[in-house]
Chains A and B, each alone.
Chain A
Amino acid sequence: EAQVTQNPRYLITVTGKKLTVTCSQNMNHEYMSWYRQDPGLGLRQIYYSMNVEVTDKGDVPEGYKVSRKEKRNFPLILESPSPNQTSLYFCASTPFYGASGSYEQFFGPGTRLTVL
């Protein structure tokens, strides 16, 4: 089954304790991305990756890191989490079609993070 998986699904942690949220896709997609979802703000892009070893900042990258060492995996790293990073996080992937735009992005089930 084609899917994007995320782990963990739920996480409660404390300020300053490093954590990693994993994301994996089994569709051989080049492009992967992280979003955070907050009430009244919709989804905002944190980081994206066009392919292995190619990553760049989205709209709200502060406090986050990513890596893309393998095509299927795109972990999100919070080196020193703070309460304002309490949010619902989604990973997404798609084949890279460049300028065509006529594609579907596949989303993971989400990770609900609470930072105390």
Chain B
Amino acid sequence: GDSVTQMEGPVTLSEEAFLTINCTYTATGYPSLFWYVQYPGEGLQLLLKATKADDKGSNKGFEATYRKETTSFHLEKGSVQVSDSAVYFCALRGPLSNFGNEKLTFGTGTRLTIIP
């Protein structure tokens, strides 16, 4: 079945550092890929997405490129801020999901802490 493997955390960085959170996946065909962010005490919010190979999703300075050849969707940001402290989830929606089930398959999450 579908699966997502995500970089283990927690990750602690200084403000303005470069961020990479690795994500690889296993799925049949061409899934859609997502990064969700969970701020303390809140639900998940969509950060960015990519729906086909070589697409680049971007939002709030974060980027991730859908790499079919390496089955990866790594999250990057050039200069992190304290306000980026949160838990980040990589997720996929498989193209061959059970008909009608829009299920997302999630990685385990990476807790990111940015220190001033």
Seen from chain A, the residues whose Cβ lies within 8 Å of a Cβ on chain B are 4, 31, 33, 35, 40-45, 48, 50, 54, 56, 58-59, 90, 92, 94, 96-99, 101-105, 107-110
- The answer on a CB contact under 8 Å between A42 and B89 is yes
A59 and B31 alpha carbons, distance in the complex (Å): 19
Report the number of A-B residue pairs with Cβ-Cβ less than 8 Å.
Answer: 68
Q: What B residues does A50 contact at CB under 8 A?
A: 100-101
Which of A42, A96, A102 is packed against the most chain B CB atoms within 10 Å?
A42
Which of B31, B93, B102, B107 is packed against the most chain A CB atoms within 10 Å?
B102
Q: B108 contacts which of A33, A41, A45, A94 (Cβ < 8 Å)?
A: A41
Q: What A residues does B107 contact at CB under 8 A?
A: 42
Question: Chain B nearest CB: distance from A30 CB in Å?
Answer: 9
Which of B6, B41, B44, B93 is packed against the most chain A CB atoms within 10 Å?
B44
Chain B interface, number of residues (Cβ within 8 angstroms): 26
B4-30 interface code vs A (CB 8 A; 1 in, 0 out) = 101000000000000000000000000
- The answer on a CB contact under 8 Å between B43 and A107 is yes
Question: Chain A nearest CB: distance from B31 CB in Å?
Answer: 7
Q: What A residues does B106 contact at CB under 8 A?
A: 35, 42-44
Q: What A residues does B41 contact at CB under 8 A?
A: 109
What 5 A-B pairs come out closest when comparing CB atoms?
A101-B32, A42-B106, A107-B43, A107-B44, A50-B100
Nearest residue, chain A, Cβ from B96: A99
Q: B102 contacts which of A33, A42, A54, A59 (Cβ < 8 Å)?
A: A33
Q: B43 contacts which of A31, A97, A108 (Cβ < 8 Å)?
A: A108
Which of A50, A92, A105 is packed against the most chain B CB atoms within 10 Å?
A105
Q: What B residues does A105 contact at CB under 8 A?
A: 46, 102, 104
Question: Chain B nearest CB: distance from A113 CB in Å?
Answer: 15
- The answer on a CB contact under 8 Å between A101 and B108 is no
Q: What B residues does A35 contact at CB under 8 A?
A: 106
Q: What B residues does A90 contact at CB under 8 A?
A: 43-44
Question: Chain A nearest CB: distance from B75 CB in Å?
Answer: 15
- The answer on a CB contact under 8 Å between B102 and A94 is yes
Q: List 21 A-B contacts (CB under 8 A).
A: A31-B100, A35-B106, A43-B44, A43-B104, A43-B106, A45-B104, A48-B101, A50-B101, A56-B100, A56-B101, A58-B101, A59-B103, A92-B44, A92-B104, A101-B31, A101-B32, A102-B32, A103-B102, A104-B46, A109-B41, A110-B42
